[in-house]
């Protein structure tokens, strides 16, 4: 029976690359996003915070084959200076990034999935002005990964995360299309190249698949070395 993976945030730059990578490895795909997608897999349009969307996605997965994996790549940022944030913004980001991730993970495991990968971020481990809500959400997501690995490991469930750094996609085009801005960004990458969405997707596919059968509870940077490098002033 075809192994099936559910991918949330599937229409985004990273999500669409994950869909492509998993399809290439032979997974059946249920792709979930707010916008109507196209291309590989069966698409479910809806908000990941909506239980009805979750139920539809799992139903489609059961019709395709045996649910084996889940990838969450939903984006919620809430950009604002720290002193301008309010509890509603923080709650919205946490609900989309952590609450929904937990709900989808719990439901997918109940439906038979044995491998889960969450798309986190280097922001889970570093701070940048104006990104506090996003960073809090990603740090909490990493905590969920560890908790799921420990509590559900005895059931044969693995849970991991990837921590992308800067990935040039359409929504951040202004930051990499200008040569001077791109050069400044590359100064923070010891590999002296940008990490592509395909680079991240290949690591996601590895973690989701059987070759990573002994890996769980890990939040793995896929950042070209950004987190490894001390700033110039250090």
The b-or-e profile of 135-144 (16+ CB within 10 A means b, else e) is bbbbbbbbeb
Choose, from 27, 134, 152, 166, the residue flagged as catalytic: 134
Among candidates 109, 157, 118, which has minimal Cα distance to 138? 118
Number of Cα atoms under 13 Å in the Cβ half of residue 103: 19
For residues 41-57, one letter each, b for 16 or more C-beta atoms within 10 angstroms of the residue's C-beta and e for the rest, the string is bbbbebebbeeebbebb
Q: Is 134 annotated in the active site?
A: yes
Report CA torsion sign: 18, 21, 26, 31.
Answer: positive
Query: Is the four-CA dihedral 74, 112, 205, 150 of positive or negative sign?
Result: positive
Please identify every residue annotated as catalytic: 134
């Amino acid at each position: 029976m075809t192994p099936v993976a559910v991918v949330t945030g599937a229409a985004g730059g990273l999500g669409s690359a994950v869909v492509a990578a998993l399809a290439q490895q032979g997974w059946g795909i249920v792709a979930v996003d707010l916008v109507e997608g196209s291309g590989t897999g069966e698409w479910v349009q809806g908000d990941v915070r909506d239980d009805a969307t979750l139920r539809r996605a799992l139903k489609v997965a059961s019709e395709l084959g045996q649910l084996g994996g889940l990838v969450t790549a939903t984006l919620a940022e809430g950009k604002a200076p720290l002193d301008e944030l309010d509890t509603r913004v923080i709650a919205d980001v946490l609900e989309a990034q952590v609450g929904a991730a937990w709900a989808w993970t719990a439901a997918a495991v109940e439906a038979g999935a044995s491998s889960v990968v969450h798309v986190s971020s280097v922001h889970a481990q570093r701070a940048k002005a104006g990104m506090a809500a996003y960073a809090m959400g990603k740090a909490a997501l990493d905590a969920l990964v560890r908790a799921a690995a420990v509590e559900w490991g005895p059931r044969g469930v693995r849970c991991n995360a990837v921590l992308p750094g800067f990935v040039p996609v359409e929504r951040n085009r202004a930051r990499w299309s200008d040569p001077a801005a791109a050069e400044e960004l590359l100064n923070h990458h010891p590999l002296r190249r940008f990490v592509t969405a395909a680079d991240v997707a290949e690591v996601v596919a590895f973690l989701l698949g059987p070759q990573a059968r002994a890996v769980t509870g890990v939040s793995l940077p896929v950042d070209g070395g950004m987190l490894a490098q001390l700033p110039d002033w250090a």
